């Protein structure tokens, strides 16, 4: 669609060149100054670094457009080492709106209009760098490795059609907002190195909440089967891909797939980690069809690209050493684990396509 100007406001898109500067206030107390001392400091953002969380896929002259709830993908000024929000009535940190022209939609004779109260940032971490949509920078994790395909009954810990992948690197700007019921502080604790009881509990809570929110058809028992494949002694985080995938643009993903089941839900950003390191058997049972008997076949690796226009959100973790009984029921496989895996539910795969 084309540009629309209303009330002398501009359409804000990734290519419009708009910047936003918000003045945050850090409130500090010291023994010498027990009363709170407000210290203002600037935070900045620009649409040129990307717009995420758009409510619509509609573009204006080929560029992402800021609509209700969308956010600039970067917010500078709240990174570690800078003057951050310490105490505030807004415990999620400062948030600054950026308002553009309303967006008018016309298609097949129908017309509609939406406002554009976007944000420079959302949910900035108190005392840390991470934030919703990666807006605070710094707390994000790398793209992940894969899990295994579940058995025909879906009883495997990685779930039906869950293709595997391999461990990968990451990006500090890959942070994604935590699921409902998990605070940003808990998400940061889950993503930090270490294996304290508090961190393990935070990781379990984050994983359970992510599966429950993104896979509403799963029962608690099925969710437990999936999370049993996660090593809770290692960091667990939500990530956005890109930039949390592999390749120079952070948009590359890989998957070890069952030969006949198609795309699964576990991806990787590096093709080199072995299936065993990902908690899966490389040999799978392929059901017979017609006069063709059942057979055992190796998994097939395929590569995918995640769209910058429609980033994928996933749960990144380290695979636990488990016994794979679902890939080939007659051939249980002890696996080593230790590879990095990223679970991207099918509902989040709209921008992920086979390369």
> How many domains are there within the chain?
2
Return the HEC string of 164-187.
Answer: ECCCCCECCCCECCCCCCCCHHHH
Domain boundary among 79, 107, 124: 124
Does residue 223 sit within a domain? yes
Does residue 59 sit within a domain? yes
How far does the chain reach from its first CA to its final CA, in angstroms? Answer: 28
- Euclidean distance between CA atoms 131 and 72, whole angstroms: 11
Q: Is the domain of 323 the same as that of 190?
A: yes
Question: What pLDDT does 77 receive?
Answer: 65
- Euclidean distance between CA atoms 82 and 78, whole angstroms: 6
- Euclidean distance between CA atoms 134 and 208, whole angstroms: 21
Q: Is the domain of 196 the same as that of 305?
A: yes
Does residue 7 sit within a domain? no
Does residue 9 sit within a domain? no
264, 141 Cβ separation under 8 angstroms:
no
Does residue 139 sit within a domain? no
Does residue 271 sit within a domain? yes
Does residue 203 sit within a domain? yes
210, 293 Cβ separation under 8 angstroms:
no
Q: Is the domain of 325 the same as that of 196?
A: yes
Q: Is the domain of 201 the same as that of 320?
A: yes
CA–centroid distance for 219 within its chain: 22
Which backbone phi and psi does 345 adopt, to 5 degrees? -60, 155
With 0.85 as the threshold, say if the pTM is over it.
Answer: no
252, 188 Cβ separation under 8 angstroms:
no
- Euclidean distance between CA atoms 3 and 282, whole angstroms: 51
Beta strand 312-318 with 352-354 is unpaired
Which backbone phi and psi does 326 adopt, to 5 degrees? -100, -25
- Euclidean distance between CA atoms 12 and 117, whole angstroms: 10
Question: What pLDDT does 103 receive?
Answer: 67
Q: Is the domain of 189 the same as that of 105?
A: no
Question: What pLDDT does 69 receive?
Answer: 65
Mean pLDDT per segment of 10 residues, for the chain of length 355 residues? 55 74 60 57 71 65 71 65 44 56 64 64 40 36 36 40 40 76 96 96 98 95 95 95 86 85 84 84 82 84 91 93 87 89 91 90
Cis peptide bond N-terminal to 221, omega within 30: no
Q: Is the domain of 85 the same as that of 216?
A: no
Question: What pLDDT does 131 receive?
Answer: 36
By residue range, what is the domain housing residue 34? 19-124
Q: Is the domain of 211 the same as that of 113?
A: no
Does residue 8 sit within a domain? no
């Amino acid at each position: 669609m084309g540009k629309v100007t209303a009330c002398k406001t501009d359409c804000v898109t990734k290519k419009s060149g708009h910047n936003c500067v918000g003045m945050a206030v850090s409130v500090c107390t010291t023994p010498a100054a027990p009363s709170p001392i407000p210290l203002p400091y600037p935070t900045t953002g620009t649409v040129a670094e990307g717009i995420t969380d758009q409510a619509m896929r509609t573009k204006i002259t080929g560029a992402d457009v800021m609509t209700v709830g969308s956010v600039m993908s970067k917010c500078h000024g709240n990174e570690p080492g800078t003057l951050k929000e310490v105490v505030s009535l807004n415990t999620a940190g400062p948030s600054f709106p950026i308002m553009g022209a309303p967006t008018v939609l016309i298609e097949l004779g129908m017309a509609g209009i939406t406002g554009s109260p976007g944000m420079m940032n959302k949910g900035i971490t108190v005392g840390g760098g991470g934030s919703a949509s990666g807006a605070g920078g710094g707390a994000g994790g790398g793209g992940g490795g894969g899990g295994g395909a579940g058995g025909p009954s879906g009883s495997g810990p990685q779930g039906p059609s869950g293709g595997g992948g391999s461990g990968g690197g990451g990006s500090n700007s890959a942070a994604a907002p935590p699921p409902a019921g998990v605070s940003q502080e808990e998400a940061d604790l889950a993503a930090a190195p270490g294996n304290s009881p508090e961190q393990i509990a935070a990781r379990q809570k984050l994983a359970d909440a992510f599966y429950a929110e993104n896979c509403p058809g799963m029962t608690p028992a099925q969710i437990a089967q999936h999370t049993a494949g996660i090593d809770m002694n290692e960091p667990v985080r939500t990530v956005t891909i890109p930039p949390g995938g592999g390749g120079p643009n952070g948009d590359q993903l890989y998957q070890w797939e069952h030969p006949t089941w198609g795309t699964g839900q576990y991806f990787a950003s590096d093709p080199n980690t072995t299936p065993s390191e990902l908690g899966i058997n490389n040999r799978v049972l392929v059901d017979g069809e017609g006069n063709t008997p059942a057979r055992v076949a190796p998994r097939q690796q395929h590569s995918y690209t995640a769209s910058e226009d429609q980033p994928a959100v996933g749960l990144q973790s380290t695979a636990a050493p488990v016994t794979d009984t679902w890939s080939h029921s007659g051939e249980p496989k002890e696996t080593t684990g230790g590879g990095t895996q990223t679970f991207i539910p099918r509902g989040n795969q709209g921008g992920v396509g086979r390369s």
